[in-house]
Structures are given as C-alpha cells and as structure tokens.
Structure 1
Amino acid sequence: MLTIEKYAAIDIGSNAIRLLIANVIEQENSPTLFKKNELIRVPIRLGEDVFSVGEISEKNKQRMIDAMQAFRLLMNAHQVKYYRACATSAMREASNGDEVVQIIKETSSVEIEIIDGKEEAAIIAATDLYSVIEKDKVYLYVDVGGGSTECTLYDQGEVKVSKSFKIGTVRILKNLVDESKWVALSDWIKEHTNGYSKITVIGSGGNINKIIKMNRKKSRKSLSYLNMLNFYEMLDALSYDERVVKLGLNPDRADVIIPALEIYLRTMKWSNAEHIVVPSIGLSDGIIKTLYKTK
C-alpha cells in the first residue's frame, strides 16, 4: 500500500528564488521515495540590493510579493500538504529583511524563515549527500551560493567541521570580496585538510549543476581539476552576450557561472583535490527531506 503526499520547499537565495514541489511516497517495508514534481526558478537577485546598499529595494520587494503569491497559488493547485520557506544570505543581511517577511506573510500567507549559515549547511546535508559519501574516503563539501559558500569536511562518513564564508557569486560580481576573505577561506581549508592524503570535493549549487549538464559526457557526475580549469578558461574567453546566445545560458546564469567556477577551483586547489563530484542536490531538496522528518 502506498501513501503519497505533496511537499514543497521555497529557497530564497541571493541570486534566485525557487519553488520545488515533490511527491513523498511511503511504502510498507520499503524506504520512503522523494520524487520531484515541479521546480520553478524566478531570477530575483536580492544580493545585488543587499550586498550594495544593505536592504531589499522596493522593486525587488514587489517582485518577491508577486512570486510568493504565485507560489502560494501553485501550492494550492498542487494540493501541497506541507511546505517550508527558507531565506539565506541576502535576507540575513538585509536591514529590512524582517519587514519583508511580515509583508509576504500578510499578502500571500507564506511564512518565511531566515536561516543562518550553520542551519543552511545542516539542511543541505539532509539530502542524498550520503549516497555519494564512502566511509573510507575524505570529502570537502562545497556549496556555492550568491552570497555565501558553505564548506563541510566529512571523514569516516561523519561531519568533522563546517563553516560559512561570505564569499558568493553575486558578491564577487559586485567586487565585495576582498583578499582577506579569500585568505580566511584558504587558511580554513588548508588547516582542516592537512594530513589527509586524498580529498574529493563534493560540489552543490545551481552553477555546478549547470556545469555538469553542459559537459559533453552527459552521464558524468564528476569532473577533474583540469576539466574545470579548461571549462573556466573557455567561458571566460567569451563575452556575456556570447554566453547567452552561443551557449544558451540564462541571463542571470551567464555572469555568475564565472565566479562560481573560481570558487570551486580555489577550493579544489587549496584542498589538493583532483576531482569534484556533483550529486545535483541543493537546499530545496534538503528542505523537503528535513520537513518530512519533522512531520
């Protein structure tokens, strides 16, 4: 006998806002299945406002209200039973973040939680991450967003240490990441990976998922450092317009994919990782899993 319920996750990031609707299928004497039903991405770049002027602009505030009202209607149409909405780096730092949360609650009945970097990393860890982690190997998990990068070291299948850094793709585009922040990330990685003979980086985030999809070997779920470097040099040699027209990248992906590659390449270099594994997971998937566990 099957029990099927619909769950939804809303991920309010610095570069985009996403709604994931999933079927949660319970079976007798079998593991629960999580099947993605629909994913909607709205390119509202909150980080551009917040990281520059410290607050969400009136224009983007209205776009957020419109998006949340649409998400509420879609959740109703899909007969979603449970949902959770989480906001990350941009909303954390916005001086009017709490005000926007209240307005959205009043206009759409969507309740938003502003979560910190530690909670963000914990939610992502609740995904299918453990399906790619082997207990006899050491991994540096790197989740790159528009406003921050979360790093977690796994050894013997367990979390050893985790930290969030204010280094993100939108911040880099706005020239808001100075050398001291890179040094802090470098020092942290070198300190915690020192002594391990071999490290594999696990990458997550919209940009690395897109990079894997664009790779010629469609079935590939990992890339070498050299693959990543060659891909970076190829993209960097193209203009923004060429990335949109020739490669078919979305306008809000064509610019941030370059700094994303820079972050992944630096973390691979500093940890002496030869490969990056990409399980194609993100915060939305983790929200669904953690929501299910609490319900």
Structure 2
Amino acid sequence: MKLAAIDVGSNAARLLIKEIRPISRNEVDFIKLNLVRVPLRLGFDVFETGLISERRMAHLIDTIRAYQLLMNIYEVNHYIACATSAMREARNGDEVIARVREQTGVSLQIISGQQEASLIFENHIAEHLSKSKSYLYVDVGGGSTEISLFSKQKQVFNASFNIGTIRLLHQQIGDAQWNELKQFLKKQIKNREVIIIGSGGNINKIFSLSKAKPGKSLSIDLLKNYYRRFKNMTLEERMHRYQMREDRADVIVPALEIYLNIMRWSGAHEILVPQIGLADGLIDHLYREIARQSTSGK
C-alpha cells in the first residue's frame, strides 16, 4: 500500500509518498519513496495583508496539480492533505480551498494548531527512547511553533503558538508573545529534565551541516554557535557558503532563535533530530485510520 501526505505550510508545500510494508501484526515499515518541497511562502502574504494573493494562489494550485500527477504516477492508494498557520489566518482561506478542490480535485483541510501538534506527535519517536526521560517535541514552522511533552511514556500536553520564522522575519513577534511561551514552558515543564525532539526543515538542515551520526543529539552550545555564525553573515553569504536555497537561508536564523529560546526556558541541553515532520505524522495518522477501519470492518 502506498500513502501520501500534502502539507501546505506558511513557507513551503510538501508532498511525501511512502510505501507501507507490514512486517508482523505489531510492526510496520514506512519506506519513503519521494519527498518534494516547493517554497510557496504563503505566509509572506498572509502575515502582512491577511490574504493570499492571486499570484501565490495560482502557484499553490499549480503545485497541488503537480502533486496530484505524482501521486497518480506512484499509484498512491490513499492521501491526506492539510494546510496550517498561513491558511488558518487567511481571510480568503475558504476560497483558496474551494479553488484548489475545483481545479485539482484535491481536498485540502485546514487544521488547528492543536491538531498540528498532535499530528507531529503521531510519529511516536519518544516511545522508542528512554522510558525514564521526558521529551519535548518542537516543530518550528513559518507561522507557528507546535510543542508536545511526552513524559514517562504518556503525553502530558500539546500546544501551538503563533511564533514562526516568517513572523519573526517581518518583526511581528513582540515581548508579550515570547513571554507567553516562556511562562507556559516554565509552568508545564516544572522540575522535569527534558530532551528536545526537533522537527522541520531548519533543524534538519542544522543536523545535516553538523555531520552528526543518526541518533546522536545536538547540544545547545552547537546551536548557539550556528546562530551567531549565521546572524553575522549576509543572506548571500549563507546561501553561498552553506549551499542553501534563499527560502532556507533567510528563515534559518529566526528558526534557531526559536529553538534556542525553547531550550533555555525548558532547561534542555540537547536536541534529537530524527528528520521527520508534519507530513510523516500525517501518513502515520492516515495509516492508523485505515487500519482501524479495516479492523472494525467499516
């Protein structure tokens, strides 16, 4: 069986296609077949004007149409398609959804910040780690940051904050928003010793640059060093020296600022980077729903 997930974020739209191979009754392999990312940057419109422009809407429709063709080529059996922060806030979000459905046949669902945090948590990474430790899932996007705490093999909370890389680039995050996140973390974490599980394109890029081995964590000092280094470079220098696309080179600095603040306020000294994201959680969620319906005979 082949499953696909479309994640329309504030910075980019992604298509992830996986083949699902059951190994035993309780074990399933998820084999990545393809991952495509297109930098639509919907948040650049929405967080400034409150609307998705005709130009970006046309790019989104073309992108979804291309994703639909790829799903056909890969003979995908089922797919799920979601939109996050930018679409949540766009005053013409419903119109965009309707036009995408009309012109591509793909039904996009706008999900809440809480749903987004839960779906990222669906990857269940922490369940395979130490049972005695606490893990804080942190997914930094263009428009929002989702966090979930997993302690003693139980989910304690999941939450979403409108603090994202594009908002920071546009200087739309004030002290009150930072303080809300800080106080929330201090209250919820309390005396727990936590390890961060980071997801999203920016922390994945840092992990690749660090040349750390899979499964190894990154220290807060390493992230501080990258933050200082990148902040002292021009956009063009980051792009040239580290072979980054422009849409990665501009948001990686605010992304590191968000991760570092969360690490400081939660007392975390290291971050695990399993190189997963919302699209992975969407496919996990879709598979579980299909399996549940199959078991119940629906």
TM, length-normalised to structure 2: 0.94
Considering only aligned residues, what root-mean-square deviation do their CA atoms show, in Å?
Answer: 1.3
Which piece of structure 1 moves more, 25-34 or 89-98?
A: 25-34
Residue equivalent to 2:207: 212
2:83 is matched with which residue? 87
Contact 2:126 2:135 in 1 (8 A): no
Is 2:254 the partner of 1:259? yes
Identity of aligned residues (%): 46
Q: Given that residues 127 and 153 in structure 2 are in contact (C-alpha distance below 8 angstroms), is that contact kept between their aligned partners in structure 1? A: no
Quick one: distance in 2 between partners of 1:170 and 1:28? 43
Equivalent of residue 195 in structure 2, options 177, 189, 200? 200
In 2, Cα distance between equivalents of 1:132 and 1:232: 30
- 1:104 matches 2:100: yes
Cα offsets for 1:227-247 (capped at 9, x unmatched): 110111111111100111111
Paired residue secondary structure (1:151): strand
- Give the count of matched residue pairs: 290
CA-CA distance at 1:221 after TM superposition: 3.3
Q: Does 1:126 align with 2:122?
A: yes
- The answer for the alignment partner of 2:163 in structure 1 is 167
Quote how far apart the aligned CAs of 1:120 are.
0.7
1:233 to 224, 228, 243: 228
Alpha carbons of structure 1 residues 136 and 124: separation in structure 2 relative to 1, 3 Å: same
Contact 1:128 1:281 survives alignment (8 Å): no
Q: Tell me which residue corresponds to 1:9.
A: 5
* Partner Cα distance (1:214, 1:141) in 2: 21
- Relative to structure 2, which stretch is displaced further, 216-225 or 104-113? 216-225
Find out whether 1:57 has 2:36 as its counterpart.
no
Amino acid at match of 2:194: I
- Unaligned stretches of 5+ residues in structure 2: 291-298
1:41 aligns with 2:42: no
Is contact 1:236–1:258 with CA below 8 Å preserved after alignment?
Answer: yes
| Moved segments of 4+, more than 4 Å | none
**Whole-Å separation in 2 of the counterparts to 1:221 and 1:27:** 27
Q: Which amino acid aligns with 1:81?
A: N
For the Cα contact (< 8 Å) 2:133–2:152, is it kept in 1?
yes
**Counterpart in the other structure of 1:287:** 282
Q: Does the CA-based 8 Å contact 1:132-1:279 persist in structure 2? A: no
Deviations 1:258-291 (A, max 9, x none): 0000000001111111111111110000111111
Contact 2:39 2:247 in 1 (8 A): yes
Q: CA deviation at 1:26?
A: 2.1
Once the 2 structures are TM-superposed, how far is the Cα of residue 132 of structure 1 from its aligned partner?
4.7
Q: Per-residue deviation at 1:131?
A: 4.5
How far apart are the structure 2 equivalents of 1:219 and 1:162? Answer: 26
Secondary structure of 1:276's counterpart equals: strand
User: Do the aligned residues in 2 keep the contact of 1:19 with 1:41 (CA within 8 Å)?
Assistant: yes
Amino acid at match of 1:208: I
In structure 1, what is the Cα distance between the partners aligned to 2:142 and 2:252?
Answer: 10
The answer as to 2:168 corresponding to 1:191 is no
Deviates more, 1:80-89 or 1:131-140: 131-140
Taking a change above 3 Å as real, the CA distance of residues 219 and 126 of structure 1, as seen in their structure-2 partners, is closer
